[in-house]
Amino acid sequence: MTNHKNIKNYNTQELIGLSQDIRKKILDTVSKNGGHLSSTLGATDLIIAMHYVFDAGVDPFIFDVSHQAYAHKLLTDRWDRFDTLRKFGGISGYTSPKESPYDYYCAGHSSTSISLAIGAAKAIALKGENRIPVALIGDGSMSAGMVYEALNELGDRKYPAVIILNDNEMSIAKPIGAISRYLSQSMASPFFQKVKKRTEKLLEHLPDGATYMAKKFEESLRLITPGLLFEELGVEYIGPVDGHDIEELIKTLKIAKELKGPVIVHAQTTKGKGYEIAEGTKEYWHGVGAFDLKTGSSHKTGGGAKSATAIFSEALLELADEDEKVVGVTAAMPSGTGLSMVIEKYPDRFWDVAIAEQHAVTSMGSLAKEGFKPFCAIYSTFLQRGYDQVIHDIALMDLGVVFAIDRAGIVGEDGETHQGAFDISFLRAIPNMTLMAPYNETTLRLAMEFAKEYDHPCALRYPRGAFMADDAPSTPYEPGRSVLLKEAKDVLFVGYGNGVGRAIETAKYLEGVDISILDLRFVKPLDKDMLIRLAKTHNRWFVFSDSAKMGGVGSAILEFLSLQEISNVTVTTFEYEDCFITHGNTEQVEESLGILPEQLAEKVVQKLDIIRS
């Protein structure tokens, strides 16, 4: 199949035909496997032009977030493997250097591309090589502060780099009519670039009066184009250009390449291009499960258990209805975190602040200080981006912000950049922080009621999808208090969050083994009284938690037992080993980790036999 090495010989019509073939391949695959759709369809022509003008084998191709890079994968020797997209053992939905030498960097989080491009440009300069980094970034990623930190240095140091801004939803600044469009397109011409450089040189030698007039003329041109911000930062701006006109894109990228400095190429594209049902700014088509290509309808069937996110959403709306002091925030994930419904009803109390986790966390600190009760709804993997703010702006002040941590545990096809493995480990070390985890609908609601009244920082975690355990009556949450769900002798299963359900399911495979099951509820603070009591009656403990082993629940319990000088207890933890966890169907991933209930039951039996012997 066509690849990046031979498309340089294609004419325009052949390139257009190639883009149609690529879109068809993407649609056929994503409709079966699920994946990111609208953004990657919209970026197809841009990526073809990138490969035509630059050399992916030499020039670093850097994709922001990289969920829009499917066309790049197809052009770099993965056409025949593309049907394995996001499957266990198959190719990743994001760029991955482990998968291909043409994937420069692993990227699953937003707004890192320009920083990476600067780093690559510095290395190229130090090596004295003739290469140029090319970064493709979406307009949504431009809402994160890291982008402007990078642009600030890039404009100052003037490293050669081409930044392609894929504007597919909201313009950075709207062009004003036909005159602006004409001037913006003219800026892409070699003539304009030569005039601009000569004007800059001329300004250095003109008298003050003439310099003033010339500067005003140059500024007036830029004021009616969208590039003012970038120009002021010291980065050349070209655009807007039609992101689906391959011929125009190639001409523009060639000019940008020849400028030998930092350049922003602003390309306007349509999300879902080539698949009419998905075209436009429909959020649903950003990331999808399997669907029918003809109708666009999902292959999912109804009747499944309610997701933890849906339960959180309903409970938060109820709390907001009852108390006007309840407020909340999310960072560009209103649907994913369940805040859409609450934002719609209370737009003055709940906010989507775009891809700005650091700002989201810190802003909630002020609201807590002013007497409000903020809920910061955020994925486990994205909370990592606001870690300093959790410590410095919330915990240090001991402010009552609630961190509602969605997608805790295995998230499936998004893989190693998105698995919610580390939140317990990195939050447990923070003073003033309270950590808890519910295991079904009732306990999630009870945990939220507790958090609403709790006047200190706290975090509650819950899984993607439904809880493993069925719903059941339960007692209200009290600080650092666990609940013994089943009392027996000898063997103790300690469950935390969704791990309680995993413990219950594992116990079903162990007939004849007398098992106590503890809902730990809090990993910080631990229920010391309960643990000391159980240590007197149970000397074999097994820990179940969907989290990293290092610094996790088992670690917390072992630290406690050591400090209490309790030596008769043997602790085995079934948390994740010290590795990044691959992508794939959640059950297949869990099977590869050996944490399905039937696998865990075998491990328990093996451990008990070793102890008995």
Distance (Å, rounded) from C-alpha 508 to C-alpha 19?
A: 53
**CB-based burial, 96-117: b 16+ in 10 Å, e otherwise:** beebbebbbbbbbbbbbbbbbb
32 and 173 inside one domain: yes
Tokens of 105: 């960097």
CATH number (domain holding residue 106): 3.40.50.970
Contacts 24+ apart (CB under 8 A), 10-17: 10/52, 12/246, 12/247, 15/48, 15/52, 15/246, 16/246
446 and 573 inside one domain: no
Whether this model's pTM surpasses 0.85 = yes
283 and 347 inside one domain: no
Distance (Å, rounded) from C-alpha 39 to C-alpha 601?
A: 43
408 and 317 inside one domain: yes
369 and 280 inside one domain: no
Closest among 594, 591, 559 to 575, alpha carbons compared: 594
Positions marked active-site: 271, 357, 385
Give the pLDDT band of residue 200 (cuts 50, 70, 90).
Answer: low
Sign of CA dihedral 2, 4, 5, 10: positive
112 and 243 inside one domain: yes
- Name residue, tokens 């010291």: 234
Mark which of 427, 461, 495 sits at the end of a domain: 461
Give the pLDDT band of residue 334 (cuts 50, 70, 90).
Answer: very high
Is the per-residue pLDDT at 174 higher than 50? no
Query: Taking the mean position of all CA atoms in its chain, how far away is CA 91?
Result: 18
Give the pLDDT band of residue 569 (cuts 50, 70, 90).
Answer: very high
Domain presence at residue 443: yes
CATH number (domain holding residue 568): 3.40.50.920
Residues 6+ apart with CB under 8 A from 328: 316, 320, 339, 342, 349, 350, 351, 374, 375, 376, 377
Is the per-residue pLDDT at 183 higher than 50? no
Distance (Å, rounded) from C-alpha 156 to C-alpha 176?
A: 29
User: For 29, what's the count of Cα atoms within 13 Å in the CB-facing half-sphere?
Assistant: 29
Domain presence at residue 266: yes
Is the per-residue pLDDT at 230 higher than 70? yes
430 and 514 inside one domain: no
Residue 144's SS3 state is coil
Domain presence at residue 73: yes
Is the per-residue pLDDT at 125 higher than 90? yes
Distance (Å, rounded) from C-alpha 247 to C-alpha 12?
A: 6
- Name residue, tokens 């002040």: 397
455 and 552 inside one domain: no
Mean residue pLDDT of the chain comes to 90
- Name residue, tokens 């959020």: 283
Mean pLDDT of 364-372: 97
pLDDT in tens, 471-500: 999 999 999 999 999 999 889 999 999 999
Is the per-residue pLDDT at 171 higher than 50? no
Is the per-residue pLDDT at 270 higher than 80? yes
Is the per-residue pLDDT at 172 higher than 50? no
Is the per-residue pLDDT at 600 higher than 70? yes
Domain presence at residue 437: yes
Residue 475's SS3 state is coil
- Count of domains forming the chain: 3
- According to the model, what pLDDT value does residue 140 have? 83
340 and 247 inside one domain: no
Asked if 164 contacts 265 with a C-beta cutoff of 8 angstroms, the reply is yes
Mean pLDDT of 367-383: 97
Give the pLDDT band of residue 258 (cuts 50, 70, 90).
Answer: very high
527 and 577 inside one domain: yes
Domain of 383?
A: 308-461
Domain presence at residue 396: yes
238 and 352 inside one domain: no
Domain presence at residue 467: no
Is the per-residue pLDDT at 82 higher than 60? yes
Asked if 467 contacts 407 with a C-beta cutoff of 8 angstroms, the reply is no
Is the per-residue pLDDT at 342 higher than 80? yes
Domain presence at residue 214: no
Domain presence at residue 295: no
Instruction: Tell me how many helices (H) and strands (E) the chain has.
Output: 23, 19
- According to the model, what pLDDT value does residue 182 have? 46
270 and 325 inside one domain: no
- Name residue, tokens 């959180």: 312
- According to the model, what pLDDT value does residue 512 have? 87
